[in-house]
């Protein structure tokens, strides 16, 4: 399937629509209107129709969208018609929480390995996944490539780890370290940082007073 590149904000909304469609399907709904998708997504029905029009015509005027058809199409667009192998680098509190969370498999993302350089952490096990020494990383990825790497190291180690991952051919990184990773243009990094989000809230709270 070939689609033209769409904006990051659109991709996020498509993910949300997919989540809602799954819920509607669980509740037995077979069709859904752009108005209902919009109200759940905090957007307008015009925005929903625009977002979905990128990928051809789905809905029938007045009849709404077919839930299973639209769901399949969105999964296809988001690349969720296959599974993804995810490695986690760093077995600290967040790394171990990711592995213990266990909710990613249901969404198509399989956490296949977790690494650390701390001998005290190597060998620990969560959800059946044993922490491996990070020196095994290159050999492991050469044997079986991963699609996505989550970088959950201390910030001072993150850049070097990212460079090792890029050398191994990893092109998609989920970064939890509070640094801006420098990667080649062909590599995509998404950053998640709860402390940054909390500090954005504390900033707003303090300027509001």
Which residue is it, tokens 């689609």? 3
Q: Least distance from C-beta 199 to a copy of itself, angstroms?
A: 5
Nearer to a copy of itself, 61 or 208 (CB): 208
- Nearest distance in Å: CB 76, a copy of itself: 9
Q: Which residues make beta-bridge pairs with 191?
A: 175
Using the minimum distance from each CB to a copy of itself, give the nearer residue, 8 or 144. 8
Binding residues for a copy of itself, rule: CB under 8 A, are 1, 3, 5, 8, 11-12, 14-16, 18-20, 23, 40-43, 77-80, 82, 84, 86, 93-94, 97-98, 100-104, 107-109, 147-148, 155-156, 171-172, 174, 178-182, 188, 190, 192, 194-208
Q: How far is the CB of 149 from a copy of itself (least distance, A)?
A: 10
Reported in sequence order, the residue ranges of 48-135 that DSSP labels E, i.e. its strands, are 65-66, 84-89, 109-116, 125-126, 129-133
**DSSP three-state, residue 180:** coil
Q: Of 92, 70, 206, nearest to 150 (Cα)?
A: 92
Distance of closest approach, residue 23 Cβ to a copy of itself, in angstroms:
7
Give the whole-angstrom CA distance, residue 190 versus residue 187. 10
Query: Which residue's entry shows tokens 């095994």?
Result: 136
Residue recorded with tokens 């709404």: 64
The minimum distance between CB 60 and a copy of itself, in angstroms, equals 26
Closer residue to a copy of itself, CB minimum distance, 63 or 194 = 194
- What's the min distance (Å) between Cβ of 196 and a copy of itself? 5
**Residue number, 23 or 136, with CB nearest to a copy of itself:** 23
Token pair for residue 60?
Answer: 């029938």
3-state secondary structure 111-162: EEEEEECCCCCCCCEECCEEEEEHHHHHHHHHHCCCCEEEECCCHHHHHHHH
Cβ-based nearer residue to a copy of itself, 136 or 197: 197
Report the residue number, 20 or 58, with the smaller CB distance to a copy of itself: 20
Token reading at 10: 């659109």
């Amino acid at each position: 399937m070939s689609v033209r590149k769409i904006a990051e904000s659109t991709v996020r909304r498509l993910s949300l629509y997919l989540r809602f469609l799954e819920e509607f399907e669980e509740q037995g709904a077979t069709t859904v209107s752009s108005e209902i998708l919009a109200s759940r997504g905090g957007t307008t029905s015009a925005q929903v129709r625009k977002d979905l029009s990128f990928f051809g015509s789905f809905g029938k005027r007045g009849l709404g969208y077919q839930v299973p058809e639209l769901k399949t199409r969105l999964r296809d667009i988001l690349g969720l018609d296959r599974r993804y192998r995810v490695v986690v680098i760093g077995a600290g509190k967040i790394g171990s929480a990711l592995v213990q969370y266990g909710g990613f498999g249901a969404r198509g993302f399989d956490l296949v390995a977790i690494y650390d350089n701390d001998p005290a952490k190597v060998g620990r096990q969560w959800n059946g996944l044993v922490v491996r020494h990070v020196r095994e990383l290159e050999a492991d990825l050469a044997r079986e490539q991963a699609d996505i790497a989550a970088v959950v190291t201390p910030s001072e180690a993150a850049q070097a780890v990212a460079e090792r991952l890029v050398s191994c051919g990893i092109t998609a990184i989920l970064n939890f370290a509070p640094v801006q990773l420098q990667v080649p243009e062909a590599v995509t990094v998404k950053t998640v940082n709860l402390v940054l989000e909390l500090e954005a809230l504390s900033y707003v709270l303090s300027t509001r007073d």
